[in-house]
């Protein structure tokens, strides 16, 4: 058909007898506002025009016969109208374009969620933030503790979210579970995340009400996306006051391999800087990792990652039973983690994501009185299929399999006694996201889990909605049930337990305008079926059951401003948490020892252009926490000192490929004490001896130098020599 028309035109053209047709009209949005700059043209011809400020246009064409008029505008669905052109004037009725749902402009569910990524509009925390935010030298979890909803628990270092215990928070890398996300340490010593923030380009941190895609977490989910394909060959060298790392990346057209080896030894540092803790052997760690990326087909990406890690340390612990003496506590940890994931299109509007992870963790503990080995082996396999039915409806369906074996062996004992268990959990989930308009979204999901060890199943409904109030503000509401297996140590004792449960209700308001963000959140959490036990002689967990319960409610406030100060930005985060529980061996309902009522974080960062330096400072405050003193009549009624810390870090871009980094925590030397630990049995006078729980040292310093060698900079070097 088309060649004929063209032919006709060509033959007619020289004759110059074409009749001009004048098409006029107006393009508006659904509110009737004129759209400026819309593209109006006749399909398959060069005849086109652009709408003016009122959305009006006049299109003149010398085409004749059946033609198709098209109207296009960024962010709106196109308009198409066949018409016959016979010269003269055609006055069109108003053309109303429907807004296209666009991820950049449409409402998103924000209740409970902090998201960050290159294109996400509400960037809360990027990997650079993680390095420049805290005094924790690039610890993912340390940086997250500057966000509201979290509590800093100095003797742990783990994530405690909205009145929940740290084990209620789960970490996923590229969709797969990391069973042991933290480093191993002695009791009451702070741990760090095992993974460098620089591995990740995106993150989703949800402090409640999350999607049915995530389970086995009562309080929060941290989902980290690793970097996409690297584009340059590189050699990275890091020199730190506590160790060194050497890494390299090799890239090809469709694949890349990166690998790194690092060795850390805190002996020189801890012998130089005064420590509270006494060491027989300061922490030492050797680790290596390798990752592989392969582009498959048009849109697929395969990611493989594996890491192996060995650490060991021996502290000298003051004995509470024999005052004045100390005993060595030796810990050797072997940790292996590997994961694989593939994401790609499997049809138009169908995206398949598959992942598998394996964790192996062995903690060998050697004390004079007690020696034990804890072994954890965990696997997680996951398949998720996402389908975009149209621009209003998306569905997600998936299934997971978790397998965990956990055991404790006592190699020192004559009988070499051993306890272990194996559990398999199968899950399935289905969720749909429905946009009533670009202002209103509802997400409804259902999650099913079956555990062969607990011989039980759970069904968890989740629902959340968000409504955009104007250009910048939106409200979001989420409700859902969340289930999790009881912790290893209880499951080891009894399979006669059920899933623990938490119900979340979260109301969120978000205002995002001109690089300023205000986020407030109110929430209520109800805990049910928590593990409870009594203590009786000769048996650690007597009468273990699921009758524990608890609650938490509170408010989060978060204000981030990247606009008001030139080259500077700050954020203020406050959370109020009111939590009580009656679980474990609590004699009554009490505030758990990991919860503080008021938590404040202030962060300020400044970029000094002329010094090519980034200064980051942060201040954290947590109100006193409760802990139990067995000598006192009331349970969990002693209060710790409030936690305060002022931290600073300085990064200097010395050369294009050399960064100098300096950080110090608790500059002002606030006295930090995280409660007291008590002897397991009373002394001769009938009272329990105790000692304070202190951080490792008053302050922490780190100096580092990061060097990147790439082909590009080697060209630069050559240029200089020439």
Which positions touch another protein (CB under 8 A)?
A: 3, 6-7, 10, 36-39, 41, 43-50, 72, 74-75, 102, 104-105, 118-119, 121, 123, 126-128, 201, 227, 230-232, 514-515, 607, 612, 655-656, 710-712, 715-716, 719-720, 722
Q: Which residues pair with 357 in a beta bridge?
A: 339, 380
Least distance CB 655 / another protein (angstroms): 6
Q: Which is nearer to another protein, 258 or 379 (CB)?
A: 258
Residue pointed to by tokens 């003016």: 52
Closest CA relative to residue 34, chosen from 76, 84, 69: 76
SS3 for 161-189 is ECCCCHHHEEEEECCEEECCCECCCCCCC
Q: Which is nearer to another protein, 33 or 634 (CB)?
A: 33
Least distance CB 39 / another protein (angstroms): 4
Least distance CB 145 / another protein (angstroms): 21
Helix H or strand E segment including 379 = strand 371-388
Q: Which is nearer to another protein, 8 or 681 (CB)?
A: 8
Q: Which is nearer to another protein, 41 or 205 (CB)?
A: 41
Q: Which is nearer to another protein, 395 or 654 (CB)?
A: 654
Q: Which is nearer to another protein, 6 or 668 (CB)?
A: 6
Least distance CB 102 / another protein (angstroms): 8
Cα(476)–Cα(193) distance, rounded to whole angstroms? Answer: 31
Least distance CB 352 / another protein (angstroms): 21
Cα(575)–Cα(60) distance, rounded to whole angstroms? Answer: 62
DSSP codes, 512-531: EETTEEEEEEEEEEEEEEEE
Q: Which is nearer to another protein, 47 or 363 (CB)?
A: 47
Cα(452)–Cα(403) distance, rounded to whole angstroms? Answer: 10
**What is the rounded radius of gyration, in angstroms, for the C-alpha atoms of the chain?**
30
Distance from the first to the final alpha carbon of the chain: 64
Q: Which is nearer to another protein, 263 or 607 (CB)?
A: 607
Closest CA relative to residue 38, chosen from 25, 21, 52, 58: 52
Least distance CB 77 / another protein (angstroms): 15
b/e code 630-667 from CB counts within 10 Å (16+ = b): eeeeebbebebeebbbbbbbbbbeeeebebebebbbbe
Cα(573)–Cα(594) distance, rounded to whole angstroms? Answer: 19
Q: Which is nearer to another protein, 22 or 691 (CB)?
A: 22
Q: Which is nearer to another protein, 114 or 483 (CB)?
A: 114
Three-state DSSP state, 32: coil
Q: Which is nearer to another protein, 57 or 429 (CB)?
A: 57
Q: Which is nearer to another protein, 11 or 390 (CB)?
A: 11
Query: CA 320, 324, 325, 328 torsion: positive or negative?
Result: positive
CA 5 vs CA 17, 64, 83, 316, 319: distances in Å: 16, 9, 15, 92, 97
DSSP codes, 381-437: EEEEEEEE-SSSEEEEEEEEEEEEEEEEE-TTSTT--EEEEEEEEEEEEEEEEEEEE
CA 167 vs CA 163, 200, 357: distances in Å: 12, 22, 19
Number of H helices, E strands in the chain: 6, 39
Q: Which residues pair with 222 in a beta bridge?
A: 171, 205
Q: Which is nearer to another protein, 455 or 513 (CB)?
A: 513
Least distance CB 72 / another protein (angstroms): 7
Least distance CB 100 / another protein (angstroms): 11
Least distance CB 439 / another protein (angstroms): 16
Helix H or strand E segment including 141 = helix 140-144
Closest CA relative to residue 277, chosen from 314, 245, 315: 315
Beta-carbon contacts of residue 310 (< 8 Å; ≥ 6 apart): 285, 286, 287, 332, 333, 334, 335
Residue 359, both tokens = 């964790």
Residue 152, both tokens = 């800093």
Beta-carbon contacts of residue 173 (< 8 Å; ≥ 6 apart): 195, 224, 226, 305, 339, 357
Q: Which is nearer to another protein, 293 or 501 (CB)?
A: 293
Q: Which is nearer to another protein, 611 or 681 (CB)?
A: 611
b/e code 9-34 from CB counts within 10 Å (16+ = b): eeeeeeeeeeeebebebbbbbeeeeb
Least distance CB 567 / another protein (angstroms): 9
Pairing outcome for strands 21-28 and 95-96 = parallel
Q: Which is nearer to another protein, 41 or 643 (CB)?
A: 41
Residue 116, both tokens = 């960050």
Closest CA relative to residue 355, chosen from 404, 405, 398, 291: 398
Q: Which is nearer to another protein, 10 or 31 (CB)?
A: 10
Least distance CB 713 / another protein (angstroms): 9
Q: Which is nearer to another protein, 106 or 365 (CB)?
A: 106
Least distance CB 722 / another protein (angstroms): 7
Cα(361)–Cα(376) distance, rounded to whole angstroms? Answer: 5
Residue 291, both tokens = 């990752």
């Amino acid at each position: 058909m088309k060649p004929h028309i063209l032919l006709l035109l060509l033959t007619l053209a020289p004759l110059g007898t074409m009749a001009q047709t004048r098409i006029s009209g107006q393009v508006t949005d659904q509110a009737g506002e004129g759209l400026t700059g819309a593209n109006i043209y006749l399909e398959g011809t060069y005849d086109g025009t652009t709408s003016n400020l009122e959305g009006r246009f006049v299109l003149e064409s010398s085409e004749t016969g059946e033609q198709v008029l098209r109207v296009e505008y960024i962010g709106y669905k196109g308009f198409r109208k066949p018409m016959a052109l016979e010269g003269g004037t055609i006055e069109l009725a108003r053309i109303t374009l429907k807004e296209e749902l666009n991820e950049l402009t449409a409402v998103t569910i924000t209740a409970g969620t902090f998201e960050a990524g290159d294109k996400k509009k509400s960037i809360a925390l990027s990997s650079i933030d993680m390095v420049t935010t805290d005094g924790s030298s690039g610890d993912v979890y340390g940086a997250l503790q500057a966000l509201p909803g979290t509590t800093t628990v100095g003797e742990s270092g783990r994530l405690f979210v909205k009145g929940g215990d740290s084990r209620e928070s789960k970490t996923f890398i590229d969709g797969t579970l990391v069973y042991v996300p933290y480093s191993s340490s002695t009791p009451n010593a702070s741990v760090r995340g095992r993974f460098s923030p620089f591995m990740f380009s995106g993150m989703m941190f949800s402090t409640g009400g999350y999607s049915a895609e995530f389970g086995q977490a009562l309080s929060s989910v941290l989902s980290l996306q690793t970097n996409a394909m690297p584009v340059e060959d590189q050699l990275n060298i890091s020199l730190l006051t506590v160790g060194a790392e050497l890494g390299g990346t090799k890239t090809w057209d469709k694949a890349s391999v990166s690998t790194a080896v690092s060795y850390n030894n805190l002996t020189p540092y801890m012998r130089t800087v005064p420590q509270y803790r006494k060491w027989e052997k300061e922490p030492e760690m050797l680790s290596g990792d390798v990752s592989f990326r392969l582009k498959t087909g048009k849109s697929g990406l395969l990611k493989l990652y594996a890491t192996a890690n060995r650490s060991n340390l021996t502290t000298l612990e003051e004995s509470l039973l024999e005052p004045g003496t100390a005993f060595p506590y030796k810990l050797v940890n072997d940790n292996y983690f590997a994961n694989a994931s593939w994401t790609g299109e499997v049809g138009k509007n169908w995206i398949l994501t598959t992942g598998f992870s394996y964790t192996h963790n062995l903690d060998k503990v050697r004390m004079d009185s007690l020696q034990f080995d804890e072994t954890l082996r965990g696997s997680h396999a996951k398949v998720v299929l996402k389908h975009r039915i149209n621009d209003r409806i998306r569905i997600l369906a998936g299934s997971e399999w978790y397998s965990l074996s956990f055991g404790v062996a006592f190699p020192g004992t004559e009988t070499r006694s051993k306890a272990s268990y194996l559990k398999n959990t199968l899950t399935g989930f289905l969720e749909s996201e429905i946009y009533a308009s670009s202002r209103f979204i509802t997400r409804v999901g259902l999650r099913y889990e079956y555990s062969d060890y607990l011989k039980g199943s759970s069904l968890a409904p989740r629902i959340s909605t968000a409504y955009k109030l104007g250009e910048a503000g939106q409200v979001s509401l989420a409700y859902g049930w969340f289930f999790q297996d009881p912790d290893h140590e209880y499951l080891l004792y009894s399979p006669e337990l059920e899933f623990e449960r938490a119900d979340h209700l979260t109301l969120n308001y978000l205002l995002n305008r001109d690089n300023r963000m205000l986020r407030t959140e109110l929430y209520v959490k109800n805990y049910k079926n928590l593990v409870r036990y009594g203590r009786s002689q000769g048996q650690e967990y007597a009468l273990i059951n699921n009758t524990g319960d608890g609650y938490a409610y509170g408010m989060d406030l978060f204000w981030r401003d990247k606009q008001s100060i030139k080259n500077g930005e700050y954020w203020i985060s406050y959370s109020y948490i009111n939590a009580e529980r009656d679980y474990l061996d609590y004699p009554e309902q009490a505030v758990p020892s990991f919860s503080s009522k008021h938590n404040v974080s202030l962060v300020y960062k400044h970029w000094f252009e002329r010094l090519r330096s980034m200064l980051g400072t942060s201040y954290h405050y947590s109100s006193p926490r409760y802990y139990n003193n067995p000598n006192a009549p009331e349970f969990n009624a002693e209060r710790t000192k409030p936690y305060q810390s002022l931290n600073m870090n300085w990064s200097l871009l010395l050369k294009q490929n050399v960064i100098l980094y300096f950080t110090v925590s608790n500059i002002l030397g606030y006295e930090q004490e995280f409660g007291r630990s008590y002897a397991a049995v009373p002394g001769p006078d009938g009272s329990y001896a105790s000692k304070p729980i202190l951080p490792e040292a008053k302050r922490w310093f780190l100096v580092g130098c990061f060097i990147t060698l790439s082909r590009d900079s080697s060209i630069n070097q050559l240029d200089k020599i020439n």
